[in-house]
Structure formats: structure tokens, C-alpha cells
Structure 1
Amino acid sequence: MSKLFWSLAMIFILASPLVLRVFSQAHQVDVEIDRVTSRVIRDSVLSSGNLIYNEEAQLTPEIIARVTSVQVVEGDKVEKGQPLIYLEDLDLKEVIFLQQAQVAIDIENVDRQEINVKNLHARFQRIASLLDKGIITRENYDDAYYQLKAAKSDLEASKLNVKRSKAALKQAEQRLRQTIIKAPMSGTVVAVSIKPGETAVPSTTGIPGSSLITIANEASIMVDLNVDENDIGNLAIDGEAYISCPTLPEGGLKGRISEIAIAPRNASEAFAANDATGRSYSVKVALLKNRPDKLRSGMSCRAKIYTTNPDPALTVPVQAIMSDRLSDDDGVSLPRGQRSKSKKYVFVASNGRTEKRTVITGAADDEYQEIKVGLKANEKVVIGPSRILSSLQDETPIAEIQPQGESYALLN
């Protein structure tokens, strides 16, 4: 009997560590862990907008005429001064012919008037000499004087007619030149809005025929952002920004602020930007090098504009930060009139258990929260799963597992 007792006792003693381990493991909670690391937390402003060409020319006609020929299509490269569109010019050529004839007639009239003035001047001199000798009367002298004066007036009028006809000829020639629409700059044709046979109409109201061709320098593509009035004061020229478009890889493109509007957008621009209040400001961001060719004007985009550049600080993922309410009953002195405030804490993983630790936080971005007081570098904190994290208590047994998915910000 005693031998059996000692045998059972020995088996119990040997098996007890395994039993205890199994028992303790049954109460462990699987949690995701991350370490306290040092990184830069930067304040930023989020905004949206569109890609635009900073160097762009939209060609419009200066005369009403039918389009006879369009020399380019979208995507063509053009040089400054290159003919792009020809308008009908037959009527203008006829007007030029008539004006050239009128100029010739007016010049002949001037020549004739000069001869007449020269003749009357010689006659007046003879009459004046005869008047001194008493051969003719004063009436003959006055008649010769006023005839000469009238001829000089006619000569001046004829000279003015020549200037007027030459100006009309020059105007007609200018209108003829306007029938050839030339490129005002070198670049790429990004839009052709008219076809042969249609009528070109000079207008600024966007009626059909008022827009012909749009040329842009593709290398000048930039971002036009709509920044809220609450954020515009935090921005500065040369501020760093990261641009995200649907066609760009994750992380976007880096840019620098090149222009900040002084006045808000007007009502029409605000409506086009889907801003009903109109209280937004235009901020232009120049894209830096390595721009992909697939960027096009008009594409929508989002931007993160950094407003500070602080030193590195200890940080943890934002999902690790928990909070509750702190009142005067907790023995903490609160400002007068303030009955409660938020107390933030994290769960530190140490020796297989959680340690609830109060922290003081600082700046934050999309992913990380700065920790000013309460943690040390390289300590491990619990970051999830969220349903487990919200129910954790101090000294809870835990088992570390790999996070099921990394969390990335929209823009890094």
C-alpha cells in the first residue's frame, strides 16, 4: 500500500510542471506586438486638387471665319510660330486689293495737289510784284492769295487721305494674317476643339467655335490644390508636399509649394472644385524630378503638405494608445473649472504579461503617435487585435503573435 502511494506521489510531482504550464497557457491571450522606435512626427495638411500645366496656351480666333484646314492632331509636337489652322481668306484678299488701289489713287491725288500748289504759288508771287507796281488791284491780289491757301489745304487733306488708306490697308493685311493660326509657344497639342468646315468665332464665353487648339509644355505639369481657410496660414513657399494620384505608385511624388494665393477662389472656381462655401485658396505645388509620363492635366489628386520639420522622437503605432477619463477623485489636480480630462495609456508586454502604463503623448500622424513620457526605446507595446486590446487588463498573460497586416499611411 505504501509502495503504491509513493509511486502515485512521484508521478504527480513529475507531471505537475506540465499541468501548470498547460493550465497557464489556457489563459494566455494572443496579442500583436510592436516596439517603441524613434522617428520624425510631422504636422501636415491634407488637401485635394487637380494636375494642371503651368505653361499652357488656349488658342482662340480673332476674326469670324470658316476653318479650311487643321494641320495638327492631339499629341503632335509643335514649334513656336508653326501654322496650325488656316481660315477662309478670299474676302480679305479682295479687301486688300481694293485698299491697295485706294492707296495708289490717294498718292496720285497728292502729287496732283502738289503741282497745283506749286503753280498757284508762282502765280501769287507774280501778282504780288505787280501789286507793288500798281498794275493790278488789291482784289486780284486777295483772290490769288486765297486760291493758294485753299490749294494748300486740299494738299494736306490729300496727304491725310493717303495715311487713312494706308492704315486701312495695314488693318486688312493684319486681318489676313489672322486667318493663319500659329503656335505661340513650343509644346504639345493637348486638345483640338474644331474641325474643317466649322466657323471660328472670337469670344471669351466658351461658345462653340471660340476654342481652337490647346498647347502645353508637358514638362511644366504641376498640382493646383484647394486648401481650406483654416489651414492656409500654416503653409509657406518651398514647403514639402507629397502628391498621390490614381496612376502613381504608392507613396506618390514629392513636390514643393511654388505659389500660395492671396485671395480665395471665386464662386465659379469654388463650385468647380466642389467647395460649396468658396472659402478655399489655390496652392500650386511644383513636382520634383522623375515625373512619370502618364500624368495628364485634369487628373484628380490628393496631397499631404508638411508644415513642420521637428527632431526624431519616441513613437508607437496610434492603435496602441488607449484612453479613459481622469477626474479629481483620482487624486490628480485639475485646472479650475475642468472636472475631467483624458488619460492615455498603453499596454507594455513584459515577461509574458501586460503592464498598463500611463503615457503623455505629443504630435501624431496617420500611423504613429509621439510619446513624451512613459516609455523607453525598444520596449514592446500591444497594438492589437483591437477587440482584444480594448478588453485587456493589467497583468494579463499574453502570447505574442505576428500582426496579420501592416498598416500603411496613404502618403509617406
Structure 2
Amino acid sequence: MNKKKLISLISIVIILFLFALPKLIINKSKNLNSPQSNPRSQPLVVKGIIIKEGYLQNKIFSNGTLMSNEEVELRTEIAGKITQILFEEGKYVKKGELLLKINDAELQATLKKNKSRETLARDKEYRYKQLLEKNLTSQQDYDVALGELNSVLADIEYTQAQIEKTEIRAPFDGIIGLRSVSVGSYISPQTRIATLQSINPMKVDFAVPQKYFGLIKPGKTVYIKISSTGKTYTGKVYAVEPKIDPNTRSVQVRAIVPNEKGELTPGAYVEIEIVLEEFNNAILVPSETIVPDIEGEKVFVYRNGKAVPQIVSTGIRTEKEVQILGGLNIGDTLIVSGIIQIKPNAPVRLSSVN
């Protein structure tokens, strides 16, 4: 009797299990297909930024050389012996200041002689003029006397010009360099006396590739950096060579930079940063958000919970940002993280928006 009851109980359990098995399979299948049980269907957590207008400078870089604003080698126009040196090496001198004197004794004697001749010639010309007015002499005799006076005056002017050549004067304000002569030296026009340089402001020469020829104009801002000190100075382009060098395919540019403190030295190597263009309403995005595509370049924009791909046209590139010329609008939400993992139109969730 007990065995029969046991068999009956086991049979009932088996029947109930078979009856409930289809429901268990269906529920298990629903659980497997639910979003909570499939991690791949979970939205990707990303960060975003709101597109805004920003300030952008289009810059290029070059190397340059500092030059004096004005520079000249002091030389004499005539040969002679130095009688005076009136400048100190490395000192500032003013325009017109007498720097060096050459012996002019012979010229001074000639000038004195011509001055005496001038007195006699003037008296003679005056007497003949009085006689001519009274018709006591001919016009020809008066013209001869006047010609003698003009000849003497020309000799005086010539002698004075020769005396001026014995004086070396500063042609402009500047700092005079080391001298190469001494008092008593006999010098000629081939002899280099010293150099004179005007160093405030300073010039800087540099070259830029030919593709920027149309953008380099007088007035453009340049930043001059001295590598030895790390200091940066601001200057302006004031001249551009009108011809492109056929050997280097570059154009020579010259800028001017203030040097009130005298910290810039002629001949020094400098690093140049040139501002070609400035934009106050540029759209800038981080460089890492740009994804290469068959159609060009694209970014991902957050729209209605999805990462929507957007083809863009790019412009100027800086170290960290890229200018967007088309494809994005002010106010769009750009996805800036998880770019590699994102699939087009995949669901995403923003963790933060800047």
C-alpha cells in the first residue's frame, strides 16, 4: 500500500513539472532578451560640450635674425693723419656729433689765402660797378671783375668742402663700436674706423613659405622670442619683399620691434611667431573629436539620446583644437569622450556637459 502511494505521488510530481516546463522556458527567454540582462544594449556613458563661438589666431612660426635699425661703417672720404679721436668706444653719440678729426693744416692755409683773395676781388668788383654806373668803364671790364670774384668764392666753397671731409661726424643717433685706429694713424677711405648702430627700434628679418604671401601684410603682429632668455617681444611687419625666392620658395619679411631697454642685440637668432588672421566668432572643437571618414571628417553629436555622426569641414588646426568651417551650429552638443567605442546612432548617456 505504501509503495502504491509513493508511486502515485512521484507520478503527480512528474506531471506537474512537465506541465510547468514550457512556462519556465518562456520566462527564461524573456529574461535573457530584456535590456537589463544584455549589457551590450546599455547606453554608453559619454561627456559632451556645448558648441560656442571662440577667439582664434591663425599663426605660423619661423626663425629670424635681429638687425640694427640703422648701421654704418665709419670711414673717411680723404686720406690723412688723425689728429683727434673724440668718441668713447661703446658709448651713445648724437647725430652731428664730431667723432674724429684729420689734419687739415694745408686746407686751412688755402682757405685763409682764398679769403684774402675774396676781399681784393670784392673791392675790385665794387669799383668797376661804380665806374660802370658812371659810364667810365666798359661792361666787359666789369664782367671780368665779377668773374674773378665768383671764381674766388668757388675756390673758398671747394676748400670748405674739403675741410668738412676731414671731420667724421655721426650720421644718426646710436652706439659706436670698437675703434680700429689711433691718434697719429694715417688713414685712407679704405680704412675702417668703427661702426655706428642705432638699436632702438630694432629690425628682424625672417622668411615665410610662399603660400602665405597673400596674408603677410604690413601691420601684421609678430612675436619675437629670445631662446637664451625666453623673453617675448611684440613687433609689427613693415615691409615684405615683392619677389618670392625661386630657390627656397619663400618670401623675405622684415618687422620692427621696440628696444627701449636695449635687451635686443643685432645679429642674434630669434624665434618668430606671426599672427596671420584673427577670428572672434570661430567654432573650435577638440582635436580628438575629429574622426576620419570615407566622406571626409566627422564628429558625433548628441541628439535625442543617440550619437549622431556629422560630416564637418575643417580649417585651422592648433595644438589642441580644430576650426570647424561647416557641419556644426552654435548650441549643438558635441560628444568628446568614448569616441572610439561609439557606433553611429548608438544610444548614449551624458555624464556631464560643459
TM-score range, shorter chain: 0.5 to 0.7
**Distance change (3 Å), C-alpha of 1:215 and 1:365:** same
Distance 2:94 2:77 in 1: 21
Distance 2:178 2:187 in 1: 14
State the shift of 1:279 in Å. Answer: 6.0
Distance 2:260 2:290 in 1: 38
Which residue of structure 1 lines up, in the alignment, with residue 218 of structure 2?
Answer: 237
Does 1:369 pair with 2:318? Answer: no
Give identity over the alignment, percent.
Answer: 17
Which residue of structure 2 lines up, in the alignment, with residue 249 of structure 1?
Answer: 230
> Aligned match of 2:267 in 298, 309, 313?
298
> Aligned match of 1:379 in 336, 339, 346?
336
Q: Which structure features the higher share of helix residues? A: 1
Please give the secondary structure, in 2, of the residue aligned with 1:166: helix
Does 1:184 pair with 2:144? Answer: no
**Distance change (3 Å), C-alpha of 1:304 and 1:286:** same
Does 1:195 pair with 2:195? Answer: no
Does 1:215 pair with 2:197? Answer: yes
**Distance change (3 Å), C-alpha of 1:114 and 1:255:** closer
Which residue of structure 1 lines up, in the alignment, with residue 143 of structure 2?
Answer: 156
Which residue of structure 2 lines up, in the alignment, with residue 46 of structure 1?
Answer: 61
Amino acid at match of 1:304: E
Distance 1:235 1:294 in 2: 27
Distance 2:117 2:248 in 1: 57
Amino acid at match of 2:59: S
Distance 2:186 2:164 in 1: 19
State the shift of 1:78 in Å. Answer: 1.6
Cα deviations by residue, 1:4-30 (Å, 9 ceiling, x for unpaired): xxxxxxxxxxxxxxxxxxxxxxxxxxx
> Aligned match of 1:90 in 105, 108, 113?
105
> Aligned match of 1:260 in 239, 245, 248?
239
1:287-326 matches, cutoff 5 A: 287=257, 293-310=262-279, 311-317=281-287, 323=292, 326=294
State the shift of 1:87 in Å. Answer: 1.8
Please give the secondary structure, in 1, of the residue aligned with 2:65: strand
Length-normalised TM-score, structure 2: 0.62
Does 1:277 pair with 2:247? Answer: yes
**Distance change (3 Å), C-alpha of 1:227 and 1:64:** farther
Cα deviations by residue, 1:102-159 (Å, 9 ceiling, x for unpaired): 33453465467679879993xxxxxxxxxxxxxxxxxxxxxxxxxx53xx42332122
Contact 1:361 1:370 in 2 (8 A): no
**Distance change (3 Å), C-alpha of 1:175 and 1:85:** same
Please list every run of 5 or more consecutive structure 2 residues that lacks an aligned counterpart in the other structure: 1-46, 301-306, 344-354
Please list every run of 5 or more consecutive structure 1 residues that lacks an aligned counterpart in the other structure: 1-32, 122-147, 202-207, 266-274, 327-340, 347-354, 383-391, 396-412
Length-normalised TM-score, structure 1: 0.55
Amino acid at match of 1:178: K
Please give the secondary structure, in 1, of the residue aligned with 2:235: strand
Distance 1:214 1:285 in 2: 21
Amino acid at match of 2:212: D
1:80-119 matches, cutoff 5 A: 80-107=95-122, 109-110=124-125
Q: Which structure features the higher share of strand residues? A: 2
**Distance change (3 Å), C-alpha of 1:279 and 1:379:** closer
